[in-house]
């Protein structure tokens, strides 16, 4: 099957081209007037007879559907998946057999807590849900950008979600976890501790959906053609590496561009910079199930990559934006129980609950049982069921609708034993009917400590600051105290640092000892991607008199490496270049901010002169870029703007001559040209993403 199959299917559902005929009613009757309702005289009452008016208003009144109870805000894209080689050794899933076969996919990224209209750059988990339209039916991998979860048993999900959602009396805060009820729950439910470490890390504020990992979270089961099972954990690794914002920046982004992550995804795809992720699997033979010091069925645990390496099995490319947000991104319905032959479940109690919840929620959200017929949900594999009728039935079924039947020739027949049909994995289970958490789930802190041990210094600083921020917004002192009490079980230094920040007494050291082990694969330091600067957004600050030669040179050098370079000036239109020609401005400074860019370049010309130094917007731009650890390049007199910031104690411009690179600030005062050496050094500074060794950084 080729990736185009889903696209061809979508075409069949496309609404009539508005350019090809007049406006009509839902019944196809042409309309000659849609601006005034039918009334008795110019100033008289409106008539019931005006069917166009009534239809228009009625339809409008019903335009909204319930938003997702969690993951309401999202962005989606189509693409394809292709395996690197056959995975027949572990699974018979058809889409994982042949490297020449591309399977179409639809992916939806999301935040969890906020409503549909909330901001993108909140501190939150990100959803990473993928629908594979395989030749054997739809397979949904409904994951997150963090490999663990808040709770171990699905029965706690409503409690957790009630706690994290806005407080019930005043519906505050929107899209944020920094409030009493969430931390009250966390402080009383120690199984959340590991996930809260991830939530307080920079993973919770991704720079881009294109720059975050995805995880299936649960242990699933691959099943091969002989029915042999292998435990499997799924990982998506972005080609561009894993990069995050800093919290100060993320907060400002919420106002400057609430659509920061959605826009980034959309624009990259429109520009042909297709996001790419590698699918990897951690495989555990069934006989090794009990060889770990945690339970594979516990979704608050990872399998450290150093223990079981991630084996790459294929890649996914997202290459098409949806045509209609509501029809596709809003109506897409993922379900963990959408599996295909070769992929099966385990008894993870969180997964078992999800297998109930997703179908249930779609019934209310999408208004009935026929949502699989909505184009984005429709499999490309043929569908033949005995399910009939219901709201929004759009198929015209013929023949019998029960099984067994003789009147319909026994059709549709059940699949034979030719390996095509799904057959549940045969697993022996016996035990008492009890409500009891397994003892093997009860180590809540070792992996939280593993995560903490694996962080670099700057990641630890950010985690401490995040805890201080969140708990600092909590009014109940006992909740602050209980939470630092939990952290003492992870690391006493961490707990003390947080306690000091939130004004509670440092807790006594907990009497549990963790092995001093780390998993380097968990640190962002080790997830930098291919080292390219593709799609990084570089702002160039320009004004009249800018050195055009230098500007064009630098711009070409950066664009040729795939960076997106935008010229920003105090006003829109053009600035007058040093060569006397007008130079097009991409955006006026007052409409943007440093937080929307990855790096800033200050070319020569009067940008470094006292006049420009008094431009507060430009100065703030550079100051923020510096304090958020971003790469800064300055040429010739452009270096002057950096020196102007020295009195603030930033000491940015340490170079006084030839190309000088210091903690991501690259200057060249002498030549005034964008030499190859300058471009190379500036490129390296951008590729590093952030420079954490600067003084006066903002977290």
Map the footprint of ligand HDE across residues 293-322, applying CB under 6 A. Answer: 299
Q: Using alpha carbons only, what angle is made at residue 271 by residues 270 and 276, rounded to the nearest 5 degrees?
A: 85
The structure tokens 């955006």 sit at 587
CB of 577 to ligand HDE, least distance (A): 47
Distance separating the N- and C-terminal Cα atoms of the chain = 48
Q: Does residue 108 have a known ligand-binding role? A: yes
Nearer to ligand HDE, 83 or 154 (CB): 154
Check residue 537 for interaction with ligand HDE (CB under 6 A): no
Check residue 345 for interaction with ligand HDE (CB under 6 A): no
Map the footprint of ligand HDE across residues 129-148, applying CB under 6 A. Answer: 129, 142-144
Q: How far apart are CA 101 and CA 5, in angstroms?
A: 12
CB of 332 to ligand HDE, least distance (A): 6
Q: Which of 138, 144, 321, 370 is catalytic?
A: 144
Check residue 355 for interaction with ligand HDE (CB under 6 A): no
Residue 379, token pair as written in the block: 């499999």
Nearer to ligand HDE, 131 or 623 (CB): 131
CB of 120 to ligand HDE, least distance (A): 14
Q: Does residue 378 have a known ligand-binding role? A: no
Which of 631, 634, 623 minimizes the C-alpha distance to 537? 631
Check residue 71 for interaction with ligand HDE (CB under 6 A): yes
Judging by beta carbons within 10 Å of its beta carbon (0-12, 13-18, 19+), is residue 649 exposed, middle or buried? exposed
Q: Which of 157, 183, 371, 597 binds ligand HDE (CB under 6 A)?
A: 157
Q: Does residue 365 have a known ligand-binding role? A: yes
Contact in structure between 330 and 68 (CB atoms under 8 Å): no
Contacts of residue 399, defined as CB under 8 A and 6 or more positions apart, other chains included, come to: 408, 411
Strand partners, 667: 634, 660
The site that binds ligand HDE (CB under 6 A) totals a number of residues, namely: 26
Interface with ligand HDE by CB under 6 A: which range of 62-70, 221-229, 250-258, 511-519?
62-70
Q: How far apart are CA 665 and CA 616, in angstroms?
A: 20
Q: How far apart are CA 198 and CA 301, in angstroms?
A: 12
Q: Which of 1, 37, 51, 69 binds ligand HDE (CB under 6 A)?
A: 69
Map the footprint of ligand HDE across residues 207-266, applying CB under 6 A. Answer: 217
Nearer to ligand HDE, 125 or 660 (CB): 125
Extended beta strands in 272-418, E state:
276-285, 311-320, 343-344
Q: Which of 350, 376, 632, 666 binds ligand HDE (CB under 6 A)?
A: 350
CB of 360 to ligand HDE, least distance (A): 7
Nearer to ligand HDE, 252 or 348 (CB): 348
Provide the 10 A C-beta neighbour count for residue 520: 13
Count how many residues are written for the chain: 699
Contacts of residue 235, defined as CB under 8 A and 6 or more positions apart, other chains included, come to: 147, 213, 214, 215, 216, 279, 280, 281, 282, 310
According to DSSP, the β-strands at 276-285 and 229-238 are: antiparallel
Pattern 166-205, ligand HDE, x by CB under 6 A: ----------------------------------------
Contact in structure between 19 and 332 (CB atoms under 8 Å): no
According to DSSP, the β-strands at 537-541 and 599-602 are: parallel
499-501-502-505 Cα dihedral, nearest 10 degrees: 30
- Please confirm, yes or no, whether 347 is among the known catalytic residues: no
CB of 115 to ligand HDE, least distance (A): 13
Contact in structure between 623 and 604 (CB atoms under 8 Å): no
Q: How far apart are CA 224 and CA 348, in angstroms?
A: 21
Residue 315, token pair as written in the block: 């890649």
Q: Does residue 210 have a known ligand-binding role? A: no
Q: Which of 38, 337, 353, 521 binds ligand HDE (CB under 6 A)?
A: 353
Q: Does residue 354 have a known ligand-binding role? A: yes
- Please confirm, yes or no, whether 401 is among the known catalytic residues: no
Q: Which of 13, 33, 52, 71 is catalytic?
A: 71
Pattern 82-111, ligand HDE, x by CB under 6 A: --------------------------x-x-
What is the set of active-site residues? Answer: 71, 144
Residues in touch with ligand HDE (CB under 6 A): 68-71, 74, 108, 110, 127, 129, 142-144, 149, 154, 157, 217, 299, 332, 334, 350, 353-354, 357-358, 361-362
Could you tell me which residues are annotated as the binding site? 68, 108, 157, 354, 358, 365
Could you tell me which residues are annotated as the binding site for heme? 68, 108, 157, 354, 358, 365
């Amino acid at each position: 099957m080729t990736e185009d199959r889903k696209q061809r299917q979508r075409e069949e559902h496309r609404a009539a081209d508005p350019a090809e005929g007049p406006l009509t009613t839902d019944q196809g009757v042409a309309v000659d007037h849609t601006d005034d309702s039918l009334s008795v005289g110019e100033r008289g009452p409106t008539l019931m007879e005006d069917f166009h008016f009534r239809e228009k208003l009625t339809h409008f009144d019903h335009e909204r559907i319930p938003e997702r109870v969690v993951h309401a805000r999202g962005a989606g894209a189509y693409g394809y998946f292709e395996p690197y080689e056959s995975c027949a050794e572990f699974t018979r899933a058809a889409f994982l057999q042949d490297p020449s076969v591309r399977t179409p996919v639809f992916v939806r990224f999301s935040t969890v807590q906020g409503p549909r209209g909330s901001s993108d750059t909140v501190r939150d988990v990100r959803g990473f849900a993928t629908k594979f339209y395989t030749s054997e039916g739809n397979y949904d991998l409904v994951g997150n950008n963090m490999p663990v979860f808040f709770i171990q048993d699905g029965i706690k999900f409503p409690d957790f979600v009630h706690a994290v959602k806005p407080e019930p009396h005043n519906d505050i805060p929107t899209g944020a976890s920094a409030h009493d009820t969430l931390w009250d729950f966390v402080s009383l439910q120690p199984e959340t501790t590991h996930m809260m470490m991830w939530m307080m890390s920079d993973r919770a504020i991704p720079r881009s959906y294109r720059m975050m990992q995805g995880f299936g979270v649960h242990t699933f089961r691959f099943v091969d053609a002989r029915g042999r099972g292998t435990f499997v954990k799924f990982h998506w690794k972005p080609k561009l590496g894993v990069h995050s914002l800093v919290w100060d920046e993320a907060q400002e982004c919420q106002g400057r561009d609430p659509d920061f992550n959605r826009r980034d995804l959309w624009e990259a795809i429109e520009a042909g910079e297709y996001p790419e992720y590698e699918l990897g699997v951690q495989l555990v033979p069934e006989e090794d199930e009990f060889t770990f010091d945690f339970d594979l069925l516990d979704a608050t645990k990872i399998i450290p990559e150093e223990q079981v390496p991630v084996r790459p099995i294929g890649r996914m490319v997202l290459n098409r934006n949806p045509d209609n947000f509501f029809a596709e991104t809003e109506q897409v319905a993922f379900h963990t129980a959408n599996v295909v032959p070769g992929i099966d479940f385990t008894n993870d109690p969180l997964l078992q609950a999800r297998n109930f919840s997703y179908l249930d929620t779609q019934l209310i959200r999408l208004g009935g049982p026929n949502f699989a017929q909505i184009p984005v949900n429709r499999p490309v594999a043929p569908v033949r069921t005995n399910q009939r009728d219901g709201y929004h039935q759009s198929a015209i079924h013929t023949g019998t609708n029960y099984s067994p039947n003789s009147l319909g020739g026994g059709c549709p027949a059940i699949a034979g034993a030719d390996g095509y049909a799904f057959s549940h994995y045969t697993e022996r289970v016996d035990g008492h009917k009890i409500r009891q958490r397994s003892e093997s789930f009860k180590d809540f802190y070792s992996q939280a400590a593993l995560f903490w041990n694996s962080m670099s210094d700057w990641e630890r600083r950010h985690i401490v600051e995040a805890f201080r921020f969140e708990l600092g917004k909590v009014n109940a002192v006992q909740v602050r105290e209980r939470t630092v009490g939990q952290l003492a079980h992870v690391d006493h230094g961490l707990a003390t640092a947080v306690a000091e920040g939130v004004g509670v007494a440092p807790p006594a050291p907990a009497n549990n000892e963790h092995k001093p082990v780390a998993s380097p694969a968990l640190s962002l330091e080790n997830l930098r991607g291919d080292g390219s600067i593709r799609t990084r957004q570089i702002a160039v600050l320009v004004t009249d008199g800018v050195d055009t030669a230098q500007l064009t040179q630098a711009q070409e050098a950066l664009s040729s490496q795939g960076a997106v370079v935008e010229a920003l000036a105090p006003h829109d239109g053009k600035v007058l270049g040093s060569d006397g020609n007008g130079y097009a401005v991409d955006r006026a400074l007052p409409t943007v901010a440093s937080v929307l860019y990855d790096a800033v370049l200050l070319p020569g010309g009067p940008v470094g002169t006292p006049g420009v130094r008094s431009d507060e917007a430009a100065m703030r731009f550079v100051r923020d870029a510096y304090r958020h650890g971003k790469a800064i390049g300055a040429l010739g007199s452009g270096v002057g703007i950096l020196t102007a910031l020295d009195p603030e104690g930033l000491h940015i411009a340490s170079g006084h001559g030839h190309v000088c690179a210091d903690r991501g600030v690259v200057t060249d005062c002498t030549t005034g040209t964008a030499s190859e050496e300058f471009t190379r050094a500036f490129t390296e500074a951008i590729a590093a993403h952030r420079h954490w060794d600067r003084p006066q950084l903002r977290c």
